[in-house]
Amino acid sequence: VRGEMAAWARAVRGLLLDVSGVLYDSGGDGGVPIAGSVEAVRRIKASGLKLRFCTNETQATREKFVKKLQGMGFDISVTEVTAPAPAACRILKERSLRPHLLVHDALVPEFAEIDKANPNCVVIGDAAENFTYANLNEAFRVLIGMEKPVLISLGRGRYYKETDGLKLDVGAYMKALEYACDVQAEVVGKPAKMFFESALAEMGVPPQQAIMIGDDIVNDVGGAQRCGMRALQVRTGKYRPCDENHPHVKPDAYVNNLAEAVDIILQQL
- The answer, yes or no, to whether residue 269 has pLDDT greater than 90, is no
At residue 99, what are phi and psi to the nearest 5 degrees? -85, 145
pLDDT of residue 7: 79
Res 187: pLDDT: 98
pLDDT for the residue numbered 9: 81
Full set of structural domains in the chain with CATH = 84-187 (3.40.50.1000), 191-235+247-263 (3.40.50.1000)
More confident residue, 161 or 5: 161
Instruction: Tell me the pTM.
Output: 0.94
Looking at residue 200, its amino acid is L
At 11-48, the pLDDT tens digits run: 899 999 999 999 999 998 889 999 999 999 999 999 99
Please report the pLDDT score of residue 4 as a whole number.
62
**212 — pLDDT class (breaks 50, 70, 90):** very high
**pLDDT at residue 65 greater than cutoff 70:** yes
What burial class does residue 44 get, using C-beta atoms within 10 Å of its C-beta: 0-12 exposed, 13-18 middle, 19+ buried?
A: buried
Residue 8 pLDDT exceeds 90: no
pLDDT value, residue 259: 98
* In the predicted structure, residue 6 carries a pLDDT above the cut 80: no
pLDDT of residue 154: 98
- What mean pLDDT value characterizes the chain? 95
pLDDT digits (tens, 9 = 90+) for 216-249: 999 999 999 999 999 999 999 999 999 999 999 9
Place 5 in a pLDDT band, splitting at 50, 70 and 90. low
pLDDT at 73: 98
Cβ(50)–Cβ(14) under 8 Å? yes
The pLDDT score that the predictor gives to residue 3 is 55
